[in-house]
Amino acid sequence: MSRVGLEVIQQIAREVGEILRNVYQSGSYDVVLKSDQSPLTRADQLAHQHIVMQLTKYYPDIPILSEENADAWSYSERQQWRNFWLVDPLDGTREFIDKNDQFTVNIALIEKNQPILGVIYVPMSDVLYYAEKNQGAYKEVKSRVETLRKSEKPSDKLRVAVSRSHAKTTISKPMLQWIKDGRDIEYVPVGSSLKFGLVAEGTVEMYVRLGPTMEWDTAAGHILVEEAGFFIQTKAGALTYNKPSLLNAPFIVCSQTTEDYTLLFGGGSE
């Protein structure tokens, strides 16, 4: 996709962010529970509608898979797609409801089961993260653009991002030994795909996620951290997209890789 195309996606993300800010500041969320007991708000629905409308306007031939329309597509239909948009209009609905500002808009383009473009927008801080395959990763704040690249010099303390809603998830002893690398470790609870942004910009060095996530939770962040020089891996190897089940396996985002994925994800936890 051309740079002009990326700018269109950035603009759509900002427009959705404005919708979310307006609902967030109104305090009127109209919360209901979905079948999986996760919350759904008026903001989720409005954001989904705007993303679908705008992506369809600019790219009518590319299907759209959103958290809010996933049930409308069967795998037999999805597996015919050459490429598709994978979006989470409001990532971090619990953060939104709890009013802690850590919610995001995620838009990714998937091709051959991998993200080739990703945009993450943080509405309450007006921070935009974006990346395109082989074009690098970037952060934009108040029109100032910063190139994101992992540091080759480890800090004295290893800071690890973990899910705010699953912050007490236990980590296996082999994984703990591998990620500590002899350093003290500090766990940093963070909501939504903002964790990927914090890894890419160097605020934290690693993101460990052993709890459940869906493909739309990770796609935009996946291409961001990869383009910044990090690895994202599961017990089975690479994290892939458009699977029969849209549920992700547990994964780790870090600056190093290993072929012994079983060492990190297998066995019991302590």
pLDDT of residue 270: 32
What pLDDT, in 10s, does the model give residues 31-59?
888 877 788 899 999 999 999 999 999 99
Distance CA 165, CA 192 (A): 9
My answer on whether 127 and 233 are in the same domain is no
Distance CA 104, CA 16 (A): 10
My answer on whether 165 and 62 are in the same domain is no
Residue 246 domain boundaries: 157-265
**Residue 125 maps to which CATH number?**
3.30.540.10
DSSP H or E stretch at residue 21: helix 3-26
My answer on whether 50 and 181 are in the same domain is no
Which residues partner with 199 through β-bridges? none
What pLDDT, in 10s, does the model give residues 217-246?
999 999 999 999 999 988 888 899 999 999
What pLDDT, in 10s, does the model give residues 76-109?
999 999 999 999 999 999 999 999 999 999 999 9
pTM: 0.92
Type of residue numbered 263: L
Which residues partner with 157 through β-bridges? 184
Count of structural domains, the chain: 2
